[in-house]
Amino acid sequence: MPALDHPASAMLDLDSARRLACGLVAPIGDSETLDLAQAAGRTSATSLRAEIALPRAARSAMDGFALRTADLAAALTLPVAGTVAAGMQAPPLPDGAALRIFTGAQIPAGADAVVPVEEVTETGAEVQLTAAPAPGSHIRAVGSEQPLGGLLLRRGTRIRAHHIGLLASNGVAEVAVVRRPRLAILSTGDELHRPGAEAASRDTMPDVNRPMLIALAQGAGAEVDDHGILPDDAEATVAKFASLQGRYDLIVTTGAVSMGGRDHLRPALIAAGGQIDGWKVALKPGKPVMFGRLGNAAVTGLPGNPFSAMVGFTLFVSAQIARLKGAVPAPLFHCAGRAGFDWTRKPDRAEIFPIRLGNREIDGLPVVHRLGEGTSATLFPLAEADGLGFVPAETARVSVGTPICWQTFEAGAR
């Protein structure tokens, strides 16, 4: 296999790395048709326009009385000639009379206003008003809520509960959505065993990254195949890449991307006919991330340290999944907090760290506490974390009370 030469100094900055990662995938063109109830969270594959105007018939917006305003010129008292409820065909309004009407009921032919029940006095079979309403009062006119041809769902929209309701109101039962991105996820390392598969020993350790990344990818809307644990073996790695070719939109690996003699991933990708588009980001943790391609699939090699793998997913893989789905990747980290800690650091790489939110300050911004000591080998500081904090590469010092950027764990998954 080819020996790869990469100078230690060449690191992508975070923005360039994210752009590169997103550029290696393209929005999926295939679609499938789903029952409306199954479509939440999926991306619409087509735009839908209203084939009807709503409401289809003029309806009452209130419980009250339907009447003809012209009839009130002589007197403000009218006899009540009957009742119209939602779901029934309204009888025409007799001359010089009112009809009791309920919310959502069709406006009787001849009526041009509804007076709410609390604005009238009912005496026997008559209703007495204090003033004549303006024509059109409390009537939902035909087409007033949705025009014929109005846009209901734009292509590329993430379908949310309110879209489902809107489509249901138009009698739509099925919707075309972009097929889910197909991901292969695998771990590398002779030291790994499946969590719970064997008793923990001092020689082996559970595979932490695979179950975590599968959960993250499924949460982001991908269809994931679990490709298990790959041994630290060059030939096996080439063979694995070859077997994955043509089947996936994105292949995500962890481990074997650093400088060690057993870090086979990059040469194996080349040997399998793939290419490497970038390696190493000025990011802590997550420095040795690799961005590449194998046929039509993007290949993202995340570092083996579990917090590095998680950060790499959050910053790069989640954006790649969003783009595959035809969505716009979520912007990262809003500076909507105040540091609850002092921190002096080496200003060389952007840094991500677990955070816990404290009380809100008088301006409404939460105090953000940094958890852990910056170790990428453990997820332990995340146990009680509310999200992730961020400082740019050039930050050398953070002081209590200064603005700090953070995001919830859900922020990246769209």
Ligand X SMILES: Nc1nc2c(c(=O)[nH]1)N[C@H]1C(S)=C(S)[C@@H](COP(=O)(O)OP(=O)(O)OC[C@H]3O[C@@H](n4cnc5c(N)ncnc54)[C@H](O)[C@@H]3O)O[C@H]1N2
- 155 by Cβ neighbours in 10 Å (0-12 / 13-18 / 19+) ranks as middle
Q: In which element (H, E) is residue 293 found?
A: strand 290-294
133 binds ligand MOO (CB under 6 A): no
Among 43, 106, 308, 318, binds ligand MOO (CB under 6 A): 308
**Which residues touch 376 (CB under 8 Å, ≥6 apart)?**
284, 285, 286, 303, 305, 306, 307, 308, 311
260 binds ligand X (CB under 6 A): yes
Q: Phi, psi (5° rounding) for residue 127?
A: -125, 135
What does the alpha-carbon distance between residue 345 and residue 394 come to, in Å, rounded to a whole number? Answer: 10
Binding partner of 389, given ligand X, ligand MOO, none, CB within 5-8 angstroms per partner class: none
What does the alpha-carbon distance between residue 343 and residue 369 come to, in Å, rounded to a whole number? Answer: 11
What does the alpha-carbon distance between residue 20 and residue 338 come to, in Å, rounded to a whole number? Answer: 31
| Choices 92-100, 171-179, 258-266, 339-347; region in contact with ligand X by CB under 6 A | 258-266
Question: Euclidean distance between the first and final Cα of the chain, in Å?
Answer: 39
**C-alpha distances in Å from residue 14, one per residue of 7, 64, 149, 344:** 18, 62, 44, 21
Near ligand MOO in 351-390, by CB under 6 A:
376
287 binds ligand MOO (CB under 6 A): yes
258 binds ligand X (CB under 6 A): yes
Among 55, 221, 306, 354, binds ligand X (CB under 6 A): 306
Place of tokens 């014929």: 148
Among 110, 303, 387, 412, binds ligand MOO (CB under 6 A): 303
Closest distance to ligand X from the beta carbon of 332 (Å):
20
Q: Phi, psi (5° rounding) for residue 309?
A: -65, -40
Closest distance to ligand X from the beta carbon of 4 (Å):
13
| Choices 96-104, 137-145, 290-298, 300-308; region in contact with ligand MOO by CB under 6 A | 300-308
| Choices 111-119, 185-193, 245-253, 283-291; region in contact with ligand MOO by CB under 6 A | 283-291
Binding partner of 386, given ligand X, ligand MOO, none, CB within 5-8 angstroms per partner class: none
CB closer to ligand X, 65 vs 353: 353
Binding partner of 43, given ligand X, ligand MOO, none, CB within 5-8 angstroms per partner class: none
| CA 267-262-259 angle, 5° bins | 75
Closest distance to ligand X from the beta carbon of 305 (Å):
4
| Choices 158-166, 204-212, 235-243, 361-369; region in contact with ligand X by CB under 6 A | 204-212
DSSP state string for 342-375: -EE--TTSEEEEEEEEEEE-TTSPEEEEE-S-S-
Closest distance to ligand MOO from the beta carbon of 311 (Å):
7
| Choices 97-105, 178-186, 202-210, 218-226; region in contact with ligand X by CB under 6 A | 202-210
389 binds ligand X (CB under 6 A): no
Q: Phi, psi (5° rounding) for residue 89?
A: -80, 125
- The whole-angstrom distance between residue 84's C-alpha and the CA centroid of its chain comes to 44
Binding partner of 191, given ligand X, ligand MOO, none, CB within 5-8 angstroms per partner class: ligand X
Nearest alpha-carbon partner for 210 in 237, 183, 234: 183
Query: Is the bond preceding residue 303 a cis peptide, omega within 30 degrees?
Result: no
44 binds ligand MOO (CB under 6 A): no
In the stretch 80-99, what mask flags binding to ligand X with x, by CB under 6 A? --------------------
Among 189, 255, 278, 285, binds ligand MOO (CB under 6 A): 285
Q: Which two tokens stand for residue 362?
A: 């008088």
Residues engaged in binding ligand MOO (CB under 6 A): 284-287, 303, 305, 308, 376
Residues engaged in binding ligand X (CB under 6 A): 187-189, 191-192, 207-210, 254-260, 263, 285, 287-288, 303-306, 308, 376-377
